Amino acid sequence: MDRSYWRTVSLVTLWQVAASICYYTVFAATPFFRAEFGLSRFQVGFVVTALTLGYAVFLLPVGALIDRFGEYRTLSLGLVGLATGAALVAGAPTTALLLAAAFFLGSLYATAIPGTNKAVYDNIAAGRQNLAMGIKQVGVTAGSGISALLVTGLAGVFFWQAGFLIAAAVGFVVAAVFALSYTGSHDGGTAEYPDFRALSHNRPYRRLVAAGFFLGAALFTTTGYTVLFVAEEVGASVAFGGVVLAVVQLFGSIGRITTGWLSDVLPGDPQFRIGAILIVQAVAGAALFAVVAAVSTPVGAVVAFAALGFFVLGNTGVYYSCMATLVGTEEMGGATAGGQLSLVAGSIVAPPAFGYLADGVGYRASWWLLGAGCVVAAGLLLFVVRTEPPVDDSAMDS
């Protein structure tokens, strides 16, 4: 692989790491929000919902803007906004302003997945894109893991907002590095927005997006409640819960790289082989949620959450690779935004439902709820691999 390949992958991955450090600080800080603002488990879910709602509201328009104007401008400005959002969350004096700051932070994260996916598929040749996607998606889990250690670790040494301020500083620095160093495409395509109506007529794409709702519910709710669960149900410290969340993200990174590599090297039709990998991940995730529900010791929590991270947090790279087999190159920005919107829609609904069950019934029922969603996702994905997409040349082939 040539130098330009690794330059592009490295810069896009670095951008994704910094963006995810800023965004995922909110997930790591849920115990501190609960203590600082007197929130119940149910109300904590609404902080996560405010974050992901901002993400959801802006995904489609940002995806359209990226297709029209290119990823360079949107990624550069987006990271500046993310750093600003992290600082605003740290300075929020009331619950209402905390929710508003979380919404703002989430809205700027809408630049992440559509922009970085477009950077990969526009600048990396077919046959090497799946590995690049897997490496790039490691930026999400790596950033989340770093934020977990920053927020929970520094809170015991300084104050709970310290991790947010460092995340903001990292965001500003990396935004400058990216703006000065990125040599990929700076311009967009034609002055037309993606044809979302045509995408809605793509049957396998529709089913993949529907499965994304349940996959997103599992992913974002797991990251949002891991620290609280470990502290309240397992009986470990908040700092240990941060370590467990970092382990979840580490194994999610391993899962993304492993499945990205498998997507490139396994034989057979790309749509079938990549879809089959995603089905295995969904089924394994359902089984592991049942295991997590029964965890009662710190060691058991580390092992169970590590395995859960590999399958549940390790599936997003494959999710987008599967999407690339279903749509054309010119539709990839809008298609990614639609797919990510579905993931985020699950994260809007699931955290409050998870918290409500945890408050009223217990954590076991909450984890079972996420497992049931993974089973539904696996059923939808079976239709994806068996349905022919209405495109002659997919983004995967270009």
CA proximity to 327, closest of 200, 212, 214, 189: 200
Q: What is the mean pLDDT of residues 304-312?
A: 91
pLDDT top residue among 82 and 134: 82
User: What pLDDT sits at residue 381?
Assistant: 92
Residue with the bigger pLDDT between 51 and 260: it is: 51
**DSSP 8-state symbol, 160:** T
DSSP 81-131: HHHHHHHHHHH--SHHHHHHHHHHHHHHGGGHHHHHHHHHHHHS-TTSHHH
Rounded to an integer, the average pLDDT of 194-219 is 83
The predicted model gives 9-35 an average pLDDT of 85
In this prediction, residue 65 carries a pLDDT of 77
Query: Is pLDDT above 50 for 322?
Result: yes
Residue 90 has pLDDT above 90, yes or no: no
Integer Cα distance of 274 and 257 in angstroms: 14
Residue 189's pLDDT band (cuts 50, 70, 90): low
Domain boundaries, the chain: 3-386
Q: How confident is the model at residue 191 (pLDDT cuts 50, 70, 90)?
A: very low
pLDDT of residue 196: 65
In this prediction, residues 175-180 reach a mean pLDDT of: 85
Mean of pLDDT values over 128-134: 67
The CATH code of the domain at 3-386 is 1.20.1250.20
What does the pLDDT read at residue 290?
Answer: 93
Res 181 pLDDT > 60: yes
Average pLDDT over the chain reads 82
User: Which is higher by pLDDT, 28 or 184?
Assistant: 28
More confident residue, 344 or 390: 344
